[in-house]
Structure 1
Amino acid sequence: MDQPSRSAGTVRPGGRTARVRAAVMEATQDELVEHGFHGLTMDQVAARAGVGKTTVYRRWGSRAGLVTDLMTELANQSTPHADTGGVEADLRANALSVLGAINDGRLGATFQAVIAAATSDEQAAGALRAFYLRRIAEWANVVDLAVKRGELPAGTDGAEVIRAISAPLYYRLVVTREPVTEKDAERSVARTLAAARAGAFVVEEL
């Protein structure tokens, strides 16, 4: 959902296994950016990473396995939620982080490739869903903090607020294929925050 702190592949040290995984994740992302999911091949990833094909097939099994691990790595690298002390600034930070990610040449292309793949491949869809659910849960914390401070009504569903922030941005990116600007991000925050303050995201307890 929001921008990882660095590209996949620039990962932590930790021996040969970690180096192999880092190289393969970097190569997977490069191949996705250049060729899309359907142009992604295990052999090309292995060649690009400088790793034996047997290693790649044994560890990842399929291109969907590669993409699943890549999305896990991007989620691991994503920055934690903001905590500015005010809900408006926190939600603005979320929107700008989403904006930065989807407008980044490398990350944006990665997300678009996986989103496209998710329409026809269930494993790719699962990887994408897991990534976004994790990031939504992370940023939902800013809404919970706002409720505790009395800035939003009790019972406000933080996950739904975060979804409402990013949904218009992804609609422009994926559906209408329009530029996504800072003005769009600001407008999404203003509308979502107004709705949240009015109680539109309150979930009544059964």
Structure 2
Amino acid sequence: MILQFKCERLHYLLNTHYVVNVYKDRLTIGKNSLPKYEYKFTLQNVLHWYIEGYKIQAFGIQHKNVIKFFKANHKDLDQLRVVCSSLICFDNLAEFYRQIDVDDSSKIMDQFSHETYTLKFLNYVQLQRQVPLLRSLNHPNILKVRECFMYHQRTYVILEFVSGMTLENYMVKNPNLSHLQCQSIIVVSLKV
């Protein structure tokens, strides 16, 4: 178990208190050792957020075609976001980021940490193919996925930001690279 915290399921009459257990591939919600809810961290599942005043107040999971929300301490919910950020798609996180470069819409800033990231739109097929691949690779010259989220029926991936020109743009601007230049680029790219 990676994380554990208390939550509250809001009902019309009596609220129910649960314990959330977060593992590397799923989260469970229940009262005792037997969970009432289990939610796997896959890109097909979406973890929903209820945000108020730039703080996460509750998270929601889809259960029997209904999104059920669980209220918890915002610090615990921030930890949940960090733990599962690259494992599952989120919903309703767009307001946490803002565009910081008028000329480059992909350059964004996290409103809280003030760190710069890259925003990339992916269709569903690209998301299913690229994100698991990027997650499985651990190399200093390969961008790391921070989180995926959905906004207005579109899927976005937040990647670490690297300044400068992309390799693709460099090759477009320099179409006549010599064999030695190509070899040098490959060696630098693969160097650990």
Q: Given the two structures, how large is their TM-score scaled by the length of structure 2?
A: 0.31
- Which structure's residues are more often strand, by fraction? 2
* Higher RCO structure (Cα 8 Å, ≥6 apart): 1
- Which structure's residues are more often helix, by fraction? 1
Larger radius of gyration: 2
Q: Given the two structures, how large is their TM-score scaled by the length of structure 1?
A: 0.30
